[in-house]
């Protein structure tokens, strides 16, 4: 039985639901020699501000049990250089490009979005209101319902592209943030970004990261991320891109069954840059085994009949 | 073109209580290796430890002309290195590579000084072989804690490499850091003989070697080690502060721009 892996999310057609996660795949072009970028569902490029940024000094990552902390600090080339130098290459490789946009101010988000609206080859904008590693912007907006609404509305006003706010898990009730994003005009939401965390070298009594704190990713966070996708799905009628520690097809399936139309894979790409084919093969096998013709037949099909559920969400 | 192979452990030779040489059957990776390049390895298949670790390729192994695999010089310090120390033949190791910018292999009349500290010996076996092919006069300055921490001396001698040794406890060679005999050699050297210096070891050592080379007007390449997530340019964790052409210091990814850098471009005071 042939199966159709393609999904549509926020008006974006993806060949399959597997998207390279922002911050974990450079600008995509770094991987073009290793991986056929057109075989990925999409490529979410590293977060872009208006101008270039140096990011934090090393040490920028530290491994933790089944996970890693990062505090890169959004080093980047700025949106104009991205449009001039990277976007044409991504287009030439046939990648579906999701541009992760950042700002220290609401105006900066809007200006980055406006520049990208004029550029060819931008599939969607992922609005980064969830980076835990920068002093101004990022999670500062994403931890406030009003900040979330303000950024999303400002981006919505200046772009025709799908607007996909990327939500932080560092809040009590993530579903209320998904609802705020929807009310401000978002086409979908992606979740979760990393969990604010830290690690200490007990011999020196120094933090292991130069930035003191960083974001936790990897399999360690996956069950919490799945729960948050589930909560958003139950509370808000908005397409979801799920992520958080996906290492295998089975992990991705958890997110899809919980309600994600597509998923992003980040940390796993560091361990295995050739993971994409394995995910596609695994998903194909699963759909065939379960007699499903399309991925959307599976999205949000969690069966919780006869289960008492205790809600933390609104 | 980097490849990812599930390499079988051919042998694991313990050189001391801390050091071992692990031979991996990875001919497709090994046959592409240039001196100074690295591989990203992961023993075991689980999620803990999660990430791969970067290792310089120690040796490219041949059976007659045919490349059969590569070896890693490992020092047990952390979780992954302890696992690599404990492997036995038949075990498997994920091995992705070769990666990174290699050393520039010089040619006569320039001579080569390789300066190694501890496990920083790793990139110099392949470099010595490449230098020998070009008939470059080569010296290895090699320092360790004690005589029992100095390895493969005969192999380097057989490749025509002159050895100058140093140990912290004075049990072999000069007592003190490897920079002690190196500084002496710089002073004694004929200034007219062009010399290229290659260094790998602790950051403080490479910085001192770079300063010596600058003082004496010699070219220097260093192989830097930085905490690395992916080895492919995806994560931006392995950055090194580099200054070129009088411009401002920039953080560049050592997996792509390195691990080998012109020592004179590294902003050492910003490097932990």
ipTM reported for the complex, 2 dp: 0.93
All structural domains of chain B, each given as residue ranges with its CATH number in brackets, are 3-99 (2.40.30.10), 103-223 (3.40.50.80), 225-272 (2.10.240.10)
Q: Distance (Å, rounded) from C-alpha B139 to C-alpha B111?
A: 8
User: Would you say residue A303 lies in a domain?
Assistant: no
From A30, which residue of chain B is nearest by alpha-carbon distance?
B233
- Boundaries of domain holding A277: 7-297
Q: Distance (Å, rounded) from C-alpha A106 to C-alpha A151?
A: 6
β-strands A189-191, A240-243 pairing: parallel
Q: Is B3 in CB contact (< 8 Å) with chain A? A: no
Q: What interhelical angle do B203-215 and B179-188 show, nearest 10?
A: 10
Backbone angles phi, psi at A42, to 5 degrees: -170, 170
User: Would you say residue A312 lies in a domain?
Assistant: no
User: Would you say residue A265 lies in a domain?
Assistant: yes
Is residue A131 flagged as an active site residue? yes
Count Cβ atoms within 10 A of the Cβ of residue A272 and give its class: 0-12 exposed, 13-18 middle, 19 or more buried: middle
Residue B161 confidence (pLDDT) = 97
Backbone angles phi, psi at A13, to 5 degrees: -95, 120
CB contact under 8 A, A270 and B42: no
The residue of A22, A26, A244, A251 whose CB has the most chain B CBs within 10 angstroms, and thus the best one to mutate to test that interface, is A26
The residue of B42, B96, B232, B238 whose CB has the most chain A CBs within 10 angstroms, and thus the best one to mutate to test that interface, is B232
Counted domains in chain A: 1
Helix (H, G, I), strand (E, B) or coil at A192: coil
User: Would you say residue A14 lies in a domain?
Assistant: yes
Residue B272 confidence (pLDDT) = 67
- Closest CA of chain A from B44, distance in Å: 12
For residue A314, pLDDT beyond 70 = no
Q: Distance (Å, rounded) from C-alpha B188 to C-alpha A51?
A: 51
Count Cβ atoms within 10 A of the Cβ of residue A173 and give its class: 0-12 exposed, 13-18 middle, 19 or more buried: middle
User: Would you say residue A308 lies in a domain?
Assistant: no
Minimum mean pLDDT range among A92-96, A308-312, B155-159, B190-194 = A308-312
Per-residue pLDDT of chain B (272 residues; tens, 9 = 90+): 899 999 999 999 999 999 999 999 999 999 999 999 999 999 988 999 999 999 999 999 999 889 999 999 999 999 999 999 999 999 999 999 999 999 999 999 999 999 999 999 999 999 999 999 999 999 999 999 999 999 999 999 999 999 999 999 999 999 999 999 999 999 988 888 899 999 999 999 999 999 999 999 999 999 998 999 999 999 999 999 999 888 899 999 999 999 999 999 999 998 86
Query: Per residue in A220-239, pLDDT tens?
Result: 999 999 999 999 999 999 99
Q: Is A34 in CB contact (< 8 Å) with chain B? A: yes
Which residues on chain A are in Cβ contact (under 8 Å) with B229? 61, 68, 70, 270
Q: Is A300 in CB contact (< 8 Å) with chain B? A: no
Backbone angles phi, psi at A89, to 5 degrees: -65, -40
Q: What is the pTM of this model?
A: 0.95
In chain A, count H helices and then E strands: 10, 16
User: Would you say residue A288 lies in a domain?
Assistant: yes
Among residues A24, A131, A143, A232, the one annotated as catalytic is A131
Size of interface A-B (CB pairs under 8 A): 99
From B48, which residue of chain A is nearest by alpha-carbon distance?
A66
Which residues on chain A are in Cβ contact (under 8 Å) with B240? 58
CB contact under 8 A, B42 and A271: yes
The CATH number for A176's domain is 3.20.20.70
Q: Distance (Å, rounded) from C-alpha A268 to C-alpha A245?
A: 7
The 8-class DSSP code of residue B74 comes to E
User: Would you say residue A46 lies in a domain?
Assistant: yes
User: Would you say residue A71 lies in a domain?
Assistant: yes
Q: Is A59 in CB contact (< 8 Å) with chain B? A: yes
């Amino acid at each position: 039985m042939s199966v159709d892996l393609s999904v549509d999310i926020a008006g974006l057609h993806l060949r399959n639901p597997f998207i390279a996660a922002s911050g974990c795949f450079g600008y995509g072009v770094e991987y073009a020699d290793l991986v056929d970028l057109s075989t990925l569902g999409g490529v979410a490029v590293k977060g872009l501000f208006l101008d270039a940024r140096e990011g934090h000094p090393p040490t920028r990552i530290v491994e933790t049990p089944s996970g890693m902390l990062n505090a890169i600090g959004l080093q980047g080339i700025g949106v104009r250089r991205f449009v001039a130098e990277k976007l044409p290459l991504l287009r030439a490789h046939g990648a579906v490009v999701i541009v992760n946009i950042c700002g220290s101010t609401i105006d900066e988000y809007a200006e980055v979005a406006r520049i990208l609206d004029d550029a060819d080859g931008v599939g969607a904008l992922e609005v980064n209101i969830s980076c835990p590693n920068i002093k101004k912007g990022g999670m500062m907006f994403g931890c406030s319902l009003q900040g979330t609404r303000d950024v999303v509305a400002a981006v919505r006003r200046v772009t025709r592209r799908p607007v996909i706010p990327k939500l932080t898990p560092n809040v009590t009730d993530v579903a209320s943030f998904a609802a705020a994003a929807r009310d401000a005009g978002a086409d979908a939401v992606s979740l979760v970004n990393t969990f604010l965390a830290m690690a200490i070298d007990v011999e020196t009594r120094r933090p292991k990261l130069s930035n003191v704190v960083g974001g936790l990713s990897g399999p360690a966070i996956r069950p919490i991320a799945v729960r948050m996708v589930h909560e958003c799905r139950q509370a808000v009628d908005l397409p979801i891109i799920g992520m958080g520690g996906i290492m295998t097809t089975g992990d991705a399936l958890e997110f899809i069954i919980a309600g994600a139309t597509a998923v992003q894979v980040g940390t796993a790409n560091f361990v295995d840059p050739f993971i994409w084919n394995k995910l596609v093969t695994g998903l194909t096998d699963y759909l065939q085994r379960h007699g499903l013709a399309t991925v959307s037949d599976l999205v949000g099909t969690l069966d919780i009949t006869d289960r008492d559920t205790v809600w933390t969400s609104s | 073109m980097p490849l990812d192979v599930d390499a079988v452990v051919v042998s694991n030779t313990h050189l001391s209580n801390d050091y071992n040489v692990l031979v991996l059957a990875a001919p497709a990776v090994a046959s592409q290796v240039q001196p100074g390049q690295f591989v990203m390895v992961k023993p075991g298949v689980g999620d803990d430890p999660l990430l791969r670790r970067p290792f310089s390729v120690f040796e490219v192994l041949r059976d007659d002309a045919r490349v059969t695999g590569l070896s890693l010089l490992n020092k047990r310090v952390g979780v992954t290195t302890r696992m690599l120390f404990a492997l036995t033949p038949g075990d498997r190791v994920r091995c992705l590579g070769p990666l990174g910018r290699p050393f520039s292999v010089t040619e006569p009349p320039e001579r080569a000084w390789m300066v190694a500290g501890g496990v920083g010996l790793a990139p110099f076996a392949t470099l010595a072989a490449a230098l020998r092919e070009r008939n470059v006069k080569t010296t290895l300055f090699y320092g360790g804690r004690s005589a029992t921490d100095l390895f493969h001396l005969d192999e380097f001698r057989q490749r025509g490499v002159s050895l100058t040794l140093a140990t912290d406890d004075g049990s072999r060679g000069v007592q003190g850091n490897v920079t002690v005999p190196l500084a002496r050699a710089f002073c004694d050297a004929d200034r007219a003989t062009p010399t290229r210096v290659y260094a790998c070891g602790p950051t403080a050592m490479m910085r001192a070697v770079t300063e010596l080379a600058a003082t004496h007007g010699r070219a220097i390449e260093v192989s830097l080690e930085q905490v690395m997530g992916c080895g492919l340019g995806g994560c931006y964790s392995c950055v090194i502060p580099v200054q070129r052409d009088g411009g401002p210091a920039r953080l560049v990814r050592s997996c792509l721009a390195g691990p080998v850098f012109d020592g004179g471009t590294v902003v050492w005071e910003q490097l932990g």
